[in-house]
Chains A and B, each alone.
Chain A
């Protein structure tokens, strides 16, 4: 698929989506023509909508089933079988949903930023669609993180909310997600919306290390990290296992949601292209701009 993109009157992208104007071809016929080797070219193999849909359809059941099974196992383990904390009592069980949601809130934003790089630098056509679909899912998981954190904070701190550095930076992340969702819908020309959203996503990446290190840089009410990649976890294994299961399950659920939404978005884009092509045929215009 060609990388250049321009907007036609009426706000429809022509060149970058030129392949969509070949309505009678099968999805697999939209293969990228031979292009010079360049960084990121391997990723363009998946810019082919037919190839993406085939791969996504094959992955979808595994992601969904794995996510549901692991999440259910982790939640039941955390709710019923994991021990209560000697200080927090049973309120510690909120950790099994709060912490995975927090991890995915940040990881989802990182994925959004990666899609933005792919979009801005290599003009990867599916990166825009994926970013647009990651945004609402990431916002939902950030909302879960904030809400479950409040539900833990009330009995433990005596307040639903405190303007602590960790909480505030996660709230900023939530607003970044909302801003991204709003921005890509704010333009008549989808390409401009995707471009503006990608820039916002990249600017917002600066918030991720602030979230991660806020508990170290400032004297916060939020507890510091219990698990790190370099050191041994300072957590009882009977609590660590259900947390790991829920985190892995939630990750697969997140991936399944984004995959399903992106598949739908690819099909919707194709539907729009077919309708545009049909309208152009009726008007006697030649729709293919490649």
Chain B
């Protein structure tokens, strides 16, 4: 395969950057849900998808 380092770097960026954003979003969502549940369990119970 020609230009392999360039291709590998491009694909790594294209996969790793959205993955990092996804992990950060999951972590933030989990933390928000936990804090909300601690403040008012009734609200947290109503939040679906848990």
Partner-B contacts on A (CB < 8 A): 23-24, 26-28, 50, 53-54, 57-58, 60-61, 64, 75, 79, 84, 89-91, 93-94, 97-98, 101, 136-137, 140-141, 143-144, 147-148, 151-152, 154-155, 250, 253, 256-257, 260-261, 263-264, 267-268, 270-271, 274-275
Q: How many A-B residue pairs have CB under 8 A?
A: 116
Contact call A24/B40, Cβ cutoff below 8 A: yes
Contact call B49/A60, Cβ cutoff below 8 A: yes
Cα distance, A53 to B40, chains bound together (Å): 16
Partner-A contacts on B (CB < 8 A): 1-4, 6-7, 9-11, 13-15, 17-18, 21-22, 25-26, 28-29, 31-33, 35-36, 39-40, 42-43, 46-49
Q: Main SS of the interface on chain B?
A: helix
Residue from B10, B13, B26, B36 with most neighbouring chain A CB atoms (10 Å): B10
Residues on the A chain within 8 Å of B43, using CB: 26-27, 270
A91-B18 contact in complex given A24-B40, A144-B13, A271-B35, C-beta closer than 8 Å = no
Cα distance, A190 to B32, chains bound together (Å): 19
Contact call B32/A27, Cβ cutoff below 8 A: no
Q: Main SS of the interface on chain A?
A: helix
Contact call A89/B3, Cβ cutoff below 8 A: yes
Residues on the B chain within 8 Å of A94, using CB: 6-7, 10
Contact call B39/A27, Cβ cutoff below 8 A: no
Contact call A58/B11, Cβ cutoff below 8 A: no
Q: Which residue of B7, B15, B31, B46 is within 8 Å of A26 (Cβ)?
A: B46
Contact call A256/B32, Cβ cutoff below 8 A: no
Can you pick out 8 interface pairs between chain A and chain B where the beta carbons lie within 8 Å of each other? Answer: A79-B11, A90-B1, A97-B11, A256-B22, A260-B22, A264-B31, A267-B36, A267-B47
Cα distance, A79 to B50, chains bound together (Å): 37
Residues on the B chain within 8 Å of A57, using CB: 47-49
Cα distance, A58 to B28, chains bound together (Å): 18
Residues on the B chain within 8 Å of A267, using CB: 29, 32-33, 35-36, 47
Cα distance, A216 to B50, chains bound together (Å): 50
A140-B25 contact in complex given A89-B3, A271-B39, C-beta closer than 8 Å = no
Contact call A90/B36, Cβ cutoff below 8 A: no
Residues on the A chain within 8 Å of B26, using CB: 260
- CB B16 to nearest CB in A, in angstroms, measures 10
